[in-house]
Amino acid sequence: MEIAPELLMALASGTAGAAGQQIWEKLRSLVRRRPDPEAPSGEGELVALGEAADDSERAHELANVLALRAAQDPAFAQALESWRQEAEAWDRAPTGSGDVHNEITGGDFKGPVFQGRDFNGPMNFGR
């Protein structure tokens, strides 16, 4: 089973917003459960990525140790697969119901504008 390092980086960095933070915490809880002392824990890699969320090497290391642990521990593999499905769906979950209608009228606008619905993560205009 492979967890995309890019997904791990997005969740660790907070880019995924509040939902992503909850999913990241679920991964922490999952990694901390250690019924098999022989299996690699992944805790060190998880902490390392949390400290440097933009480090792709750390994300790959975490993805690799999660895959190794899943290969050695069927119960962990099943729980990790459930977690992965939830994590991969975070960006498809709307934050509210209903439609949105965006319109800018009645003036001369000289700045950037966000239009849309269900924004997640930090946003800036590069300033």
Provide the residue ranges of all domains of the chain, joining segments of one domain with +: 5-92
Tokens (6 digits) for 95: 């934050």
pLDDT band for position 11 (cuts 50, 70, 90): very high
C-alpha R_g of the chain: 18
CA distance 60 to 9: 9
Q: Is the confidence at residue 18, as pLDDT, over 90?
A: no
The structure's pTM equals 0.69
CA distance 69 to 72: 5
Whether the CB-CB separation of 17 and 122 falls below 8 Å is answered with: no
Average pLDDT score, the chain: 84
Where does residue 121 fall: left (phi above 0), alpha (psi -120 to 50 degrees), or beta otherwise? left
CA distance 77 to 99: 38
CA distance 124 to 127: 7
Which pLDDT belongs to residue 92?
66
71-123 tens-digit pLDDT: 999 999 999 999 999 998 876 655 566 677 777 777 787 777 777 766 666 77
Report the percent of the chain where pLDDT is more than 90.
50
Q: Which amino acid is at 51?
A: E
Q: Is the confidence at residue 7, as pLDDT, over 60?
A: yes
